Structure 1
Amino acid sequence: MTTTETLNVFVVAADPGRALQLTPLLPRTDVKYVPDAESLLRESHVVIPDVVLLYTSTPGVPLHQVLPMLRQRAELSGTQWLGVGTQGLGELLAAGADALISDATPSEAVALQVRTMLARAQQHREALLRVASLQRRMDTWEHEERVRDQLVHMLVHDLKNPIAAVMGLIEIVQDDPRIPEDNRELLKVAHDETQHLLHLAANMLDVRKIQAGKMNLKRELMFTPMFREVIEQARGDVGSGLRDRHVRVDIEADMSPASADPEILRRVLANLISNALKHTTTGGVIAILAKSIPEGVQVMVRDDGEGIPADDIPNLFAAFEQSRLTLHGRFDTGMGLAFCKLAVEEHGGTIHVESERGKGASFIFTVPSAQDNDDDDDFVELV
């Protein structure tokens, strides 16, 4: 509400002069005389008053009987109610009057009180307008989120089948002995890039699922042999690019069992290994380490690449973010690291990165021990 907008004041009294005395003292205000409670009920449906002066000496139905009904109307939630009189003020206060004043008070002082209450009424209505505006923006945002979810879901599902078909055809051609060796190398690159595209699509869908709370983990008790198997599977998922890197795997023997979804953990590791691959040059070293800690199992994927600028680290796990220093030209949505963070936290673990420019980067995440989860009974039975 702007300051140039006309404000409305009702004066409910037996004497019309009460309204006439206030009119010149309240500029930009429409002061309306209302003779009784019944008229107030009618007039307040036509015009929404900002302030209503309720004189206790008004004849007819007592004002304190109709005030509770008026206060229940949503459109009058911002209206201020001023009880005026010498008797019956207690009943008005109990009925919901915002302030009380004597009917012997000079008109100037009454006008001052009314202006104060007009300011409160304006603040209330401006707050309602802001809330309504925010609600509209929230509704628009929720609608856009639903549309985005549907679009991502449709896009990923429409892409997965043709990408998988292309991968299958490439594998068939790779097995053909008639293919020259130099062409076979190109086919391997094509297969790896197609697999990368499939991972991008899957990450996009899973990030949205986790954000919406729709990904249900299939937890299992994971001992050292299963961690070793999952890491090997993740290496296979990354593809032939690892042949030009030195990959070292060090898994602590006889680790305490962790509670995790092996398939999701495999994809977390594949994303981290792929990330290490793109930040190292030919002959670089990528180390994958796993060990027991009090909280569960800690896994580290470390590379000796160019490192990550300190300014990039705070946003590194956000979707559509990636380090500005990348040793390859492949486009990346940043969904891989976003998926890793959400998936690890969905397990109840944590993930962070440690890096120094020129000295590589280490991505470290934890998965909780089996004893800290709902798999306690299964663990006891196995033991």
Structure 2
Amino acid sequence: MIHPSLRPNVFVVSGDRARASALAAALPEVDVSFIPDAETLLRETHVKVPAVTLLHTGTPGVALWEVLPLLRQREELAGTYWLAVGTHGLGELLAAGADALISDMTPVDGLALQVRTLVERSRQQGAALDRVAQLQRRMDTWEHEERVRDQLVHMLVHDLKNPIAAVMGLLEIVMDDPGVPEDMRDLVKTARDESQHLLHLAVNMLDVRKIQAGKMNLKRELIFSPMFTEIIELACGDVGSGLRDRHVRVDVTPGMAPVSVDPEILRRVLANLLSNAMKHTITGGVITVRVRPQAGGVQLVVQDDGEGIPAEDIPNLFAAFEQSRLTLHGRFDTGMGLAFCKMAVEEHGGSIRVESVRGQGATFILELPSLPEDDLDDDDSADLLV
């Protein structure tokens, strides 16, 4: 292979030096080297990498077709073109790996044209391989940076979870102490809610990275109507005490066909949507959670009567590090919660969308597919229905 920025080398392997001299005169733009035999060719290819090597069939010594397979195995010669020249013995060289054949009766100008074409191919191949190497280096750098980021996220989450949980526990104890003045109790409640929010941010960041890396393995279970109610209640508890200042209405259709989901992931999705609804509603606002059957699956709706989402914010609402510019509470958010919701729902084979009118609240709609009929007929499903 010839590097695109270097002057190309051309080897002429022949018992007649005049052949190399004639070709050098016809190709002043390349360096032509005379190689008298196969043994010299083996040595010289360790010193220089030829763009093209002309193998004359009448060369004395070891037959060229015997050494050509060895040369073709060498990685540094992968871009070298091997041109067999002669009238007899071309078949052996072609079988040994020659790239092209040409008669030794061809005029030198014709031979030079053929060599020039092969040199240009080698140059192009060198340029292409250089670009591939640059892209590979960039990819290696990117993968290294991704690994560093993943390690940092894991470190942050695992190192933060325990102290945050400890702080939340201590704040709960303080809140339950009847001797704490009411004005101080409100401050403790705010501290507890913000600690819960910080924990959600850290865990969502970790889960988004897991899904992006394809490392989140869903632990699916069959979920029936009563279990949806339980999951919603648990999600409400995860959001924190802020929901106590809102009216949360839950409406789950009884007797629905089961869907196969990871209950813990669904709980996290609903907790994020409830937290988002709470963030955009005032004290005394109404948040409604509905679960309804639909053709091919189940629809979950989380609706609030808050300020709504500006139309220009909706297209990017589920992207990480994006959030609506309009919020009642001015709390900074990474947008990881809604990004996690979208990725988690799509990981289940479902979809999520939002509908909102400015000043009339927002409605998040999740659609999860039901089980295929053959899955409903298996033994595990039968045991669960007993």
TM-score higher than 0.5 here?
Answer: yes
- Name the structure 2 match of 1:381: 383
State whether structure 2 residue 125 is matched by structure 1 residue 124: yes
- Name the structure 1 match of 2:169: 168
Report 1:269-308 matches (<5 A).
269-308=270-309
Report 1:41-56 matches (<5 A).
41-56=42-57
Report 1:182-331 matches (<5 A).
182-309=183-310, 312-331=313-332
- CA apart distance, 1:340: 1.4
% same residue: 71
- CA apart distance, 1:361: 3.2
- CA apart distance, 1:243: 4.1
Report 1:86-125 matches (<5 A).
86-125=87-126
4 and 348 in structure 1: CA distance in 2 versus 1, 3 angstrom threshold? closer
- TM-align CA RMSD: 2.4
- CA apart distance, 1:195: 0.8
Partner amino acid, structure 1, of 2:180: I
**Secondary structure in 2 matching 1:324:** coil
Q: 2-side partners of 1:255 and 1:85: how far apart?
A: 82
**Secondary structure in 1 matching 2:22:** helix
- CA apart distance, 1:281: 4.0
- CA apart distance, 1:143: 2.0
378 and 119 in structure 1: CA distance in 2 versus 1, 3 angstrom threshold? same
- CA apart distance, 1:323: 2.8
Contact 2:246 2:285 survives alignment (8 Å):
yes
Q: 2-side partners of 1:312 and 1:88: how far apart?
A: 74
Partner amino acid, structure 2, of 1:17: A
**Secondary structure in 2 matching 1:112:** helix
Contact 2:4 2:127 survives alignment (8 Å):
no
**Secondary structure in 2 matching 1:326:** coil
Q: 1-side partners of 2:292 and 2:52: how far apart?
A: 71
Contact 1:321 1:334 survives alignment (8 Å):
yes
52 and 372 in structure 1: CA distance in 2 versus 1, 3 angstrom threshold? farther
298 and 17 in structure 1: CA distance in 2 versus 1, 3 angstrom threshold? same
Contact 2:249 2:286 survives alignment (8 Å):
yes
Contact 1:280 1:327 survives alignment (8 Å):
yes
Q: 1-side partners of 2:360 and 2:112: how far apart?
A: 74
Report 1:347-362 matches (<5 A).
347-362=348-363
- CA apart distance, 1:333: 1.5
Q: 1-side partners of 2:60 and 2:242: how far apart?
A: 93
Partner amino acid, structure 1, of 2:154: H
Contact 2:375 2:381 survives alignment (8 Å):
no
Contact 2:252 2:290 survives alignment (8 Å):
yes
- CA apart distance, 1:278: 2.2
Contact 1:370 1:379 survives alignment (8 Å):
no
Partner amino acid, structure 1, of 2:125: H
**Secondary structure in 1 matching 2:324:** coil
- Name the structure 2 match of 1:17: 18
Partner amino acid, structure 2, of 1:200: L
Using the size of structure 2 for normalisation, the TM-score is 0.91
- CA apart distance, 1:194: 1.0
- CA apart distance, 1:290: 1.0
**Secondary structure in 2 matching 1:58:** coil
- CA apart distance, 1:151: 1.5
- CA apart distance, 1:78: 0.4
- CA apart distance, 1:212: 3.5
Residues 135-181 of structure 1: per-residue CA shift (max 9 Å, x gap): 22222222222222221111111111111111111111111212222
Runs of 4+ in 1 over 6 A off after TM superposition: 372-375
Contact 2:259 2:298 survives alignment (8 Å):
yes
Q: 2-side partners of 1:190 and 1:197: how far apart?
A: 10
Contact 1:37 1:62 survives alignment (8 Å):
yes
103 and 334 in structure 1: CA distance in 2 versus 1, 3 angstrom threshold? same
Q: 1-side partners of 2:23 and 2:364: how far apart?
A: 73
Contact 1:219 1:262 survives alignment (8 Å):
yes
Partner amino acid, structure 2, of 1:377: D
36 and 163 in structure 1: CA distance in 2 versus 1, 3 angstrom threshold? same
Contact 2:291 2:299 survives alignment (8 Å):
yes
Q: 2-side partners of 1:19 and 1:271: how far apart?
A: 77
Q: 2-side partners of 1:10 and 1:346: how far apart?
A: 58
Partner amino acid, structure 2, of 1:19: A
Contact 1:259 1:373 survives alignment (8 Å):
no
Residues 244-295 of structure 1: per-residue CA shift (max 9 Å, x gap): 4443322212111122222221111010111222233445443222112233
* Structure 1: gaps spanning 5 or more residues: none
- Name the structure 1 match of 2:149: 148
Q: 1-side partners of 2:300 and 2:223: how far apart?
A: 13
